[in-house]
A and B are shown apart, each in its own frame.
Chain A
């Protein structure tokens, strides 16, 4: 893909042309009047995106979020917790135990 621009336009809005170069990886013809006076072959190196450590970010301010919520449970282990969730959300767990949905 070739992008043709006038020198005056290029000076006005260089960032928009840089965006086009990134997306198209094309050649840019620089024209003065109707004459192509230069060709730009962009070589763009995009820096590697720094890896986000999501779990670390969750843990960082977890205490402040917990303080706002304050939920109690009677569950003693993971299986009991999963059953409790089913009873609250669906009204019945996989063992057929029921509670009123908003209890």
Chain B
């Protein structure tokens, strides 16, 4: 079975950052995934966040450059599914004080679809790992 990894917004943002330290961390993560020949998934919620972020920080031309990269099927696999607030997502959002609704949606998606989560957010990573062990 293919190893699938969902990239959180902070990892993608760090990957494209013009900043050495955080960019290097994101690069290291990608290098590890490269050894596993993993599939890199882009969730619609992550796309919404990252496009907003780049538009506000770097402008629309930069958004277009990133979109071209995202549309390359040899680089990323865009998840084609509607965004819904499921009961499971809401339960995660309600139970963990520092988990936002988008974070909860991503954790829920990863658990349901047996996908690994790649994030720099320690709290989100901890909740995903905890719930993954329970499932």
Q: With A89-B49, A102-B56 in contact, do A65 and B66 touch (Cβ < 8 Å)? A: yes
A38 within 8 A of B: no
Residues on A with C-beta less than 8 A from B27 are: 59, 62
A55 within 8 A of B: yes
Interface size on A, residues (CB 8 A): 33
Q: With A69-B66, A79-B120 in contact, do A86 and B19 touch (Cβ < 8 Å)? A: no
**Are A68 and B10 closer than 8 Å at their CB atoms?**
no
> Bound state CA distance, A5 and B1, in angstroms?
39
**Are B74 and A70 closer than 8 Å at their CB atoms?**
no
**Are B57 and A71 closer than 8 Å at their CB atoms?**
yes
- The listed residue (A54, A65, A86, A101) touching B16 by CB distance below 8 A is A65
**Are B53 and A85 closer than 8 Å at their CB atoms?**
yes
| A59 to chain B: closest residue by CB | B30
Q: With A66-B16, A69-B66, A102-B56 in contact, do A81 and B98 touch (Cβ < 8 Å)? A: no
**Are B30 and A58 closer than 8 Å at their CB atoms?**
yes
- The listed residue (B21, B37, B52, B58) touching A71 by CB distance below 8 A is B58
Bitwise, A45-67 to B at CB < 8 A (1) or not (0) is: 00000011111111100100110
**Are B49 and A71 closer than 8 Å at their CB atoms?**
no
Q: With A65-B69, A78-B121 in contact, do A71 and B13 touch (Cβ < 8 Å)? A: yes
**Are A66 and B18 closer than 8 Å at their CB atoms?**
yes
A75 within 8 A of B: yes
CB distance from B79 to the nearest CB of A (A): 14
**Are A85 and B75 closer than 8 Å at their CB atoms?**
no
Nearest 8 CB-CB pairings of A with B: A78-B120, A55-B34, A55-B33, A68-B65, A82-B121, A69-B62, A54-B40, A56-B34
Using CB atoms and an 8 Å cutoff, list the residues of chain A in contact with chain B. 51-59, 62, 65-66, 68-73, 75-79, 81-82, 85-86, 88-90, 94, 101-102
Using CB atoms and an 8 Å cutoff, list the residues of chain B in contact with chain A. 9-10, 13-19, 21-23, 25, 27, 30-31, 33-34, 37-40, 49, 52-54, 56-58, 61-62, 65-66, 69, 72, 74-77, 98, 100, 119-122, 124
**29 cross-chain CB contacts under 8 A:** A51-B37, A52-B37, A52-B74, A54-B33, A54-B40, A55-B33, A55-B34, A55-B37, A58-B15, A59-B30, A59-B31, A59-B34, A65-B16, A65-B65, A65-B66, A66-B16, A66-B18, A68-B62, A69-B18, A70-B18, A70-B58, A76-B21, A78-B10, A78-B25, A78-B119, A82-B121, A94-B98, A94-B100, A101-B56
